[in-house]
Every structure is written in structure tokens, then in C-alpha cells.
Amino acid sequence: MSTLLSIVIPTKNRHRYLLSTVEGILKHIKGENFEIVVYDNSDEEILGTKLRQKIEDERVRYFYDSSEMAIVNNFNKSLSKASGEYICFIGDDDSVHPEILNIANWANQNGYESVIGSNSIYYEWPYGEVDGKLTIYPHFNAFKEINLESELIKFSKEGAVYYLNHDLSKIYHGLVKKGCMDNVYNKTGSFFNGLTPDSYGAIALSNVVKKAIRIDFPISIAGTCFEAKSTHKTEEARKRKLKDAPHFKGRGGYNWSDQVPMVYSGETVWAESAICALQLMGRDDLISLVNHYKMCAHISIAVPHLEEKVLNDFLFKKERGKRIPVLLKYYFVKLKIRTKKVLEKALNRIKKLLNRKTSIQEHGIQDMNTCLEIINGLKSQQNPSFLEQNNYTTIK
């Protein structure tokens, strides 16, 4: 029997998280028709030894590669080892929903190449003052078939920064047929490129997937740990120079696009990788739609200390207009973005109140295995199983 699902986990020097993630997946997913592909780029093969000592399961396929490589290359190599018809990438501090195999079966039976789940379960690993917090937001009986071309156009017009704000196909925390990634490879020469594989993968895939659906049900669990936050969320990371960004380590020579400000932040790295995907997929038409005012506003809202540099070194040169009119338009766009965020937050709260559904929070959760135990135990009206919830109401 061919493998239906590959859960792919690239990792480096974070075996504490990955061991718990693998144990939880094997314990809580019912069914045999899946594999876990672990591609380990750690300095030493400690993880492999621990996996062999703790886990004896043919569904776990472990590969060790000590060569210096960027995260994009780790994703490329790990995907080349996957044999599943559907692929789901997660980080080593993440996990998948216990019903992911049911979702993959349902997608396969209904001919969907891509399934976009709701981002409704989050886990903060214990560190510092964080005691290990699991948050589960309510989800609703709804699905929507997606016009990916329309979403790509919206993404470009919104500044090409936050791909998660759009219904785009995702291989990271999403479900995608491997054949679609093979199509990306055939067109570009690699599965992933750019600097961050999540953004690049979403944009590249959305150019080749023919049938996609968004379901209001979580496919995965988004984890966060201290090491992940230190990449670009700490105060030290926010002040990092672009040349010192961890994304360049092991990457070799990289040509930064003239479509993105040359400063370091999570937002610029996402935008850069998205533009790279559009370029390699031959979508100059979408690049021409990118709204640089919105791009710069998104970056400046997230990292205010970069605003002056973003304006002087990028926007004024890009727009080639008089300084005052450019500034007026920029601040107007920035105000609109801030206002929209406030309104969306308020509307989400109202929606939850009207549906009488509230979020669940559990503290003192020490690992991902325990998270899955809790999620598996929440079989209630608020959190029905995927199969129970499969009488969806279509979202127009």
C-alpha cells in the first residue's frame, strides 16, 4: 500500500522538542498509512541515538546530514525523502492535529490537491516565565473552495508580506499533494528557494495547485519555543543587521530583490521569499501589482525603528515622486492598515460571542505529547471531530 501522508520535520539542534512531537504523533494518530520524515542537520547525531533508544516504529524515517546548510536546503532535502501522496511540513516545536490522517483521506476522496486549515491551536513551550501554555480557539462548521489566482492577486496588492492573511496553498502547516511540489521542482529546479520556505512554498504552490479548499478545522498545532523566537522576535534579533540574518547561514551567494527594503525583519524575509517565488514561477505580472506603500507600512508597523531607513532607502527611491506626496500617501496607507486590524479583531470577538464559543487555555503543559492528549480528549460540541464536523456549511 502506498503511503497516504508524509509528516516532514526538518530539524537542527533541537532534539528536546522533536522527540516529544514524534512520540505524540505516533501515540495519538489512529491509523498506519502515514510516515514521519525527520531530516536532522544537527551538529551531532544525538537525536538519532535518542530516537533509536526511545522509538521503534517503521513509520519514523530518520536521516542525518551534518553538512552546513540553510533551512531552505534542509527543507529541500527532507522533501526529497518523503513518499506520501500528501505532504505536511511542521517545525520541530510544532505538531499535527490527531485527525490529520482523516483530513488527508477526505481530501483524497474529494479530489482536493491542497487543504488549508484554520490556525486555531497554539502551544508555547516552557521557557523563562512561560509555564507551557496551550490555547485552542473555537472553529466553525464551514469550508470554502479557493480561487488561488484571485488570492495571489490580493496578496500582491496587499504588499506581498503576510501570506498567512490570505487563502493560499501551504505546505508548511497545510496539506498538499506531493505531485504539486514536483511541478514546482520541474519549473524552478528546486522545491524551495528564497530565504524562508514557508512563504516561498505558499506562493510557489498557489501557482500550480488546481483544486484547493479551506476548512475551518486545524490541521496542525503551531508551537513556539525560545530558540524560534530568538530568530526575529527578541529585541536583539530586531536590531540585527541584514547581513547577519540567520537565513543566510549556509545559503551561499544570494541576490536580494530590488522589490523589498534591504533591512532585517521577519516581514522583509517573508516578502523577499514571496517575490523570489513569483520571479521563479514567471509571474512578473503579479510582481508589477505589488503595493510598495503597503509593504513598507507593514514592515514599519512591525519594526518601528526601521521606518526611517525603509522610507529613505527604499520607498522614496522606488516611487520617484516628491517627498511630501509620497509621505502623505504612505501615512494614509499605514493608518488604513492599523484601522483594519482593529476592526478585524473586534469582528472576530463578536463572531465568537454570537456562536457562543470561547477559547480554551491550559497552563503548565510541559510537552507536545501532553498537548495532543488534551486535544484528543476535547470531543465536545465546541470541538467536534473532523468526521463529525464534516457536514460543512459553504462560505460564499
Percent of the chain as helix, strand, coil, to the nearest 5: 45, 15, 40
pLDDT (tens digit per residue) in 293-348 = 999 999 999 999 999 999 999 999 998 878 999 999 999 999 999 999 999 888 87
Those residues with Cβ within 8 angstroms of residue 72's Cβ, 6 or more apart along the chain or in another chain = 192, 193, 194, 195, 196, 197, 200, 247, 251
Q: What is the pLDDT of residue 191?
A: 97
Cell 516565565: give the residue: 129
Q: What is the pLDDT of residue 193?
A: 97
Q: What is the pLDDT of residue 338?
A: 95
The pTM assigned to this predicted structure is: 0.91
Show the domains of the chain with their CATH numbers. Answer: 5-227+358-394 (3.90.550.10)
User: Which residue, among 292, 294, 298, has the nearest Cα to 265 in the 3D structure?
Assistant: 298
Can you read off the three cell numbers belonging to residue 348? 472576530
User: Do residues 213 and 145 make contact, with C-beta atoms less than 8 angstroms apart?
Assistant: yes
Amino acid at 180: C
Amino acid at 298: H
- Count CA within 13 A, CB hemisphere, residue 11: 30
Q: What is the pLDDT of residue 381?
A: 45
Task: Tell me which residues of the chain have a pLDDT lower than 70.
Answer: 1, 141, 229-238, 352, 355-357, 379-396
Q: What is the pLDDT of residue 260?
A: 97
